[in-house]
Amino acid sequence: MLDIKWIRDNPDKLDAALARRGAAPLAEQLLKLDEERRAHLTRLQTLQGRRNEASKAIGKAKGTGDEAGAEELIREIGEIKEAIQDGEETERRIDKSLEDALARIRTSRLTTCPRARTKPTMSRSAVTARRRTSVSRRRSITSSAKA
């Protein structure tokens, strides 16, 4: 699955790679879903911040004896709590649609990534020689322990 951050940074490369495979461009659609998700998360965070402020204000209002103000804040927190719960459901829906859209893009040959070149640290014959030496050492230790 492709990384949405990479798509944000390289929408043209994604569309070009899809075009080489004969697929329709998807960067605009994916970026629109991502923008919707990010805007929604910002709204949720704003609501959570307001809920925290109101919670602190309830304590201050009760401390000063302002019961009417405290009741109003409690009612507001209840509304915010419902809005946050609805928002979290919407967040899950948006996340799922974005993940589904990203998962539909097969990445096997989408981008041309150079293969990692691994340099063998030891040749096959060197490994075999090391194993033989190790076995002969074990045999000599075992035979000297028995004697």
Closest CA to 45 of 34, 53, 56: 53
pLDDT at res. 116: 42
Mean pLDDT for 22-43 is 92
Query: What is the chain's mean pLDDT, rounded?
Result: 82
Could you tell me if 5 and 31 are in contact, meaning their C-beta atoms sit under 8 angstroms apart?
A: no
Mean pLDDT for 54-76 is 90
Instruction: Give the domains, in start order, of the chain with CATH numbers.
Output: 4-118 (1.10.287.40)
pLDDT at res. 114: 41
Distance separating alpha carbons of residues 50 and 87, to the nearest angstrom: 15
Mean pLDDT for 117-136 is 64
Q: How many residues make up the chain in this entry?
A: 147
Percent of the chain with pLDDT over 90: 44
DSSP state, 22?
A: T
The region, left, alpha or beta by phi > 0 then psi within -120 to 50, assigned to residue 22 is: left
85-116 pLDDT, tens digit each: 999 999 999 999 998 888 888 665 555 444 44
